[in-house]
Amino acid sequence: MWLALFLATSAALATSAVAFAPTPTLATRAAGTATAVPRLGRSVAVVNIPSIGVNVPLLYGIHDDALSRGLGLWPGTSLPGRPGNAVIAGHRTSHGAPMRDIDKLAIGDLIYVTTTGKKQSVLEYRITKRQVVRPDAMWITRPTRTATLTIFACHPPHSIAYRYVVFAKLISQRTSGGQ
């Protein structure tokens, strides 16, 4: 229920397979290619935010099942490490409360995202901005030209009155052979 107003915007579409098909990002439009879309609920990465002790899976989707197991990647937004805006939701007070201390993050703090799959990448993001927004501030999901992260959670804790949003930009990427 913490995402009630965000989800209300797309609730009517939520049962449709089309609802979770990604909208073209600036990167895929420019390249003229489609990016494979992960299955809903599938783990796409692990998010590590050392300054607030977060180390949790990132799952594709912002539905209850995904958010009960970690953070959720907003369908239709970019995958971490790719050009565009990877929008991530997390709980502050339930399901392990991975984003409990989101408001303690500071500009300059680092966020590490380790992608899953055959070619693993460790992505390093630096926080550039923090902001409190209204629940209907859908502009936070807009595509960007560069690889960015937007992480949000309800604010204040135990309330759905606002969202605390952290914006970060990709500063480095290391790729390995993976699994």
Q: What string of H, E and C letters represents the secondary structure of 20-75?
A: HCCCCCHHHHHHCCCCCCCCCCCEEEEEEEHHHCEEEEEEECCCHHHHHHCEEECC
Residue 16 has pLDDT above 60, yes or no: no
pLDDT at 31: 41
pLDDT at 112: 98
Q: What is the pLDDT of residues 48-72, one digit of tens each?
A: 999 999 999 999 999 999 999 999 9
Domain count, the chain: 1
Q: What is the pLDDT of residues 97-120, one digit of tens each?
A: 999 999 999 999 999 999 988 889
* CATH code where residue 80 lies: 2.40.260.10
Residue 89 has pLDDT above 90, yes or no: yes
Residue 149 belongs to what domain range? 4-175
> What are 19's two structure tokens?
């609802």
SS3 102: helix
Q: What is the mean pLDDT of residues 166-176?
A: 95
Distance of CA 89 to the CA centre of its chain: 5
